[in-house]
Structure 1
């Protein structure tokens, strides 16, 4: 028995240590949260995460398609900053000819688009998502959401991802190199990032629908409770 314990102990010491996977990071608390409902707060965090996902996708696209950032900037980091600044300040992207929302996204994915396609694509996707959220990136008690618009935005992201992977230019080349599944490489990191964005928007759409349904149920519960769940006098 003792030798067995020593053997098990030795195996335990020799077992490889699991790789760290990090831990959940909560956002810092601010006074503005007092003006936010639970749904407002989740929508604000979701928007922040979705924009971060788009910036990661832009970085990935620039790394695989360096010719794109060279059309508008002297280095990749500066190109990303310019797109980010335009998105967060709600400024139009010059190469999109004043177009916004799905019109901007459609133009960025046309085969004959000659500008920085990666920048235009990410800008168009971000603008479409923001428009679906009522044109805002932070949300408070006075704000509300349209569940159908959010649902449509999630489907638009699915369509955009599919077009990016399948549409080709006049020379028969992909509009932008993204996912790569071949004998030498298996890279689906783009697909995973798109999936995160779609899931966050879908969840908010469901929560928006559930919010009004639960409000009605809570009203009925309070109504019934007020009538039948009162304590009875004992003296």
Structure 2
């Protein structure tokens, strides 16, 4: 399979991950024979039920979990470990933010570890704090923030570190409905402005349709793989009440009911 010319393209071929299910060493597949190309700059959504291997696949792309077989590459470079070109955003921001650091200090943490000069760190952090709508909260500590604001800090920190690929594991799943909708809109705006490659994991069909350019459907585990890919050409911002939106929703819902 020939890779597209776009940079930061993720190339997956016959990817497998196994685990030993019993004491006698019986091998079972978590995911099996996944084939996928995610183009650089694309917003790709992995959609499927809980336990189907979505997070496992995302963690393999991040380099946190090793593969058992197949190919997994970024720009023809095999993924063997975490890298600065890939950044993970988790569902629970509390697990990734430092509670003793302010919003600004959290956003600047990676830059400080990279020995970026203080003046440059401040310029970068101001840009992304403003981009995620936290410019009035930069002096606050995580305990003073709402769940949605913590996710904004997590996103600003990832953007400040300038990773080309954003890996998002149900990042809005713990938020209330109104905050979640706001964050979905903000994420689309940030993606359009920064041109990052985004891989977003969810089990929510509506969320997948609001966000993704393409939606990969994962089968029920074990031995999960991507069975179908839906091309979502609806214009942004997407209208959940439109006939086109609901037609595509019904098509995907029917797929799961089958």
TM-score past 0.5 threshold: no
Of structures 1 and 2, the larger Rg is shown by: 1
* Structure with higher strand content: 2
The TM-score range, normalised by the shorter chain, is: under 0.3
User: What TM-score, normalized to structure 1?
Assistant: 0.27
Q: Which structure carries more helix by proportion?
A: 1
Q: Whose relative contact order is higher, 1 or 2, with alpha carbons under 8 Å and at least 6 apart?
A: 2
TM-score by length of 2: 0.26
